[in-house]
Amino acid sequence: MKSRPFRAATLAMALTSLAGVAACSSGGSSDQASGPVTIEFWGWAPGYEKSVELFNAAHPGIHVTYSKISPGSKGGYTKMLNAVKAGNAPCVGSVGFETLPTFAAAGALQDATAAAAPYAKEYASWAFAQSGVAGRTYGLPVDIAPMALIYRKDLFAKYGITSAPRTWDEYAADAAIIHAADPNAYITYFGNDAYNFAGLAWQAGAKWFGTGNDKWTVDVNDPATKKVTAFWQGLIDKKLVKTVPSFDTALYKGMGDGTILSDVNAVWDTPILADSVKQTSGNWAVAPMPVWDTAAPASGNAGGTPNAVLKGCKHVKEAVEFAHWFGTDQASVSNLIKETGIYPAAVSGLDNPALSEPDPFYGGQKIFDVFKDSAGHVDPSFQWGPVMTKTSGALGDGLGKAGSGGTSLDAALADVQAQTVAEMKTQGMEIG
């Protein structure tokens, strides 16, 4: 839908396309039920089914039916948006922080501000803030996604690297050491995951989106991001990284046979890796992601998901009650840590015993200790834009072409900037 600007004195997410959303939304239940109510929930992460079962066993007055759909970027978000348009959307859907503004711009969310407000202080403040837009709250966060270095400790040692690199300069130096020792071995890969790249830019201090004077600012190719592209372009040009699509079978083949030795990625990647290269169990470790400045260490975040209330939900109060329980109940959080690999957004979740368990795949290391430290160094002011489907699609395409030598990373960024601005203008958003 077309949009018009409005003023909002909030953390400046200020989506100018939301002017009509409040009129069709409610902060409470629009159909308060005197008896049991049914809440439909769509998501895709492993372990969600078990948490829903736990909720239903403990809440006879609310029954949640869970439908597993394709991951958001692989069709799940389109399915949700189409369901909203058709008037048959679920009450609750998993909508990542990065995509929530896009759903808001499309008028696909139900205002849950009043129902969610009592729970605000129970979550990391920036995670709660990113579960809303322009002063309205649309759900409650399940997890955040601090990043770290996941690496083959045994093979690093084989090549004479006895400790994980602390800085990106050290990481580049180690890349040269490894590849010189074995031309078939690479410290890491360069893939096409737009959100992983966003996490790297976030760490470097990027500010891709902002608002002011009733207008959006868009700077996907800002100086901080160009520092990241310069680093990775250097590794690509020197052929010190393997270029392979993110999450591809070729990636895990390389990680399994010892030719790709590390991944700088989010906490949720740890169980994916463990499941994909089981034969290497015990040889991996987790360390802080390399930093640009040891005097001011910063980390990145690549993911995080609120359970959002979708437009048309008739039981907002109950939907928020479920969303809150899902991300704070200790049994549910334990399940999600073990099965989904989440790092909890809820403050209470940080004391969950599952975070302190040694992980056999990672040599008995208590890996969440590293992610806890990482989470404390994430810049809370990073903002996502209102057309991230377009932005991430263009970025993923550009990263893939740059990795194969079809373009440069800086040229890819310029194209992402142009496509993002064009899409925002098409949707009637003003850009400063």
Tens of pLDDT along 287-331?
999 999 999 999 999 999 999 999 999 999 999 999 999 999 999
Q: How confident is the model at residue 13 (pLDDT cuts 50, 70, 90)?
A: very low
CB 168 within 8 A of CB 184: no
pLDDT of 29 higher than 90: no
Spatial distance between the Cα atoms of 253 and 396, rounded to a whole number of angstroms: 22
Residue 112, C-beta contacts closer than 8 angstroms, at least 6 positions apart: 27, 137, 138, 139, 309, 316, 319, 320
Alpha carbon dihedral 377, 380, 381, 384, in 10-degree steps, equals 110
Q: What percent of the chain stands above pLDDT 90?
A: 87
pLDDT of 2 higher than 70: no
CB 262 within 8 A of CB 273: no
Q: How confident is the model at residue 135 (pLDDT cuts 50, 70, 90)?
A: confident
Calculate the average pLDDT of the chain. 91
Q: Does 22-144+303-375 match 146-300+382-426 in CATH topology?
A: yes
Of 345, 367, 371, 350, which Cα lies nearest the Cα of 358? 367
Under CATH, domain 146-300+382-426 is a member of which superfamily?
Periplasmic binding protein-like II (3.40.190.10)
CB 225 within 8 A of CB 151: no
Q: Which pLDDT score is estimated for 34?
A: 59
Domain boundaries, the chain: 22-144+303-375, 146-300+382-426
- Which strand (E) or helix (H) includes residue 116? helix 113-116
pTM of the predicted model, to two decimals? 0.89
> What CATH architecture does domain 22-144+303-375 belong to?
3-Layer(aba) Sandwich (3.40)
pLDDT of 385 higher than 80: yes
Spatial distance between the Cα atoms of 341 and 338, rounded to a whole number of angstroms: 6
pLDDT of 26 higher than 80: no
3-class DSSP state for residue 179? helix
Spatial distance between the Cα atoms of 234 and 135, rounded to a whole number of angstroms: 42
pLDDT of 23 higher than 70: no
Spatial distance between the Cα atoms of 385 and 393, rounded to a whole number of angstroms: 13
151-186 pLDDT tens trace: 999 999 999 999 999 999 999 999 999 999 999 999
Q: How confident is the model at residue 16 (pLDDT cuts 50, 70, 90)?
A: very low
Q: Which pLDDT score is estimated for 244?
A: 97
Q: Which pLDDT score is estimated for 432?
A: 85
335-373 pLDDT tens trace: 999 998 899 999 999 999 999 999 999 999 999 999 999
